[in-house]
Amino acid sequence: MQPGSLVVVGTGFSIAGQVTQEALSHMSHAERLLYLVTDIATKEWLESLNPNTESLYDSYRVGRPREETYAEMSERILRCVRSGERVVAAFYGHPGVFVAPSHLAIAGARAEGFDARMLPGISAEDCLFADVGFDPGDRGCQSFEATDFLLRRRLFDPTSALVLWQVGVIGVRDYQKSDLWGPRGLAVLQRRLLDTYPPEHPAIVYEAAQYPICPPLIHSTPLAALTEAPVTVRSTLYVPPLPDRATDAGVRLELGLEAESGG
């Protein structure tokens, strides 16, 4: 391995409350700490941990394609690694969940012969499970990026839970300043979901809490009113399952299970 290394970590949400001890140690002892977070309190906390910090946020520019922004962020990280420094890159949430520059930087560093790895963190989905209170192992859980879900007409089982990410930026490729980037895309998503679910079927617009003293956003709405819900670029949509289907009698027999009650 060449001198220089990269560790990518996540800060979770709620300022420092969801950072693992392993991630905290790496951030504190890094020779260079680069970060991308969305609130001032977390920014100031990171800068108090390590004097050698640098924000990646200024790579965003209004109207600039996000792919270009992510490529620039990755290159900024790699330049520090190439200089021989022990680099830590910290991203809010989980560093590997909808964080393109983290994956680009790790792949680039490894391709150039540097040691690079990612540590797990707490994602918005983890917070969703806890705050909304459903078990993904109960009926299953399907998770899709919202634009991809629509463009490729992803197949899904409506009797399992459905989680859709980035519902506030559907069909939008560039960076914008408004709270909701893709209102037209949200309307398209609503129509697609109403092909499967009844209009009165509930859905939850969710945003994890950023501060310990603030509650998460948990807004319940019928799907027929989704376009009127408080959706922003930070929103995740949870659609609870429809009533479960009956079990397969033949498979029950193969598994040695008793017949389903009432069947």
Please give the positions annotated as active site. Answer: 66, 70, 92
- Burial zone of 214 (CB within 10 Å; 0-12 exposed, 13-18 middle, 19+ buried): exposed
Q: How far apart are CA 259 and CA 15, in angstroms?
A: 50
Neighbours of 72 (CB within 10 A): 17
Coil/strand/helix, residue 69: helix
E-state strands within the chain: 5-10, 32-36, 53-55, 86-91, 115-118, 141-145, 161-165, 202-207, 217-222, 236-239
Question: Which is nearest to 19 in space by CA: 87, 91, 99?
Answer: 91
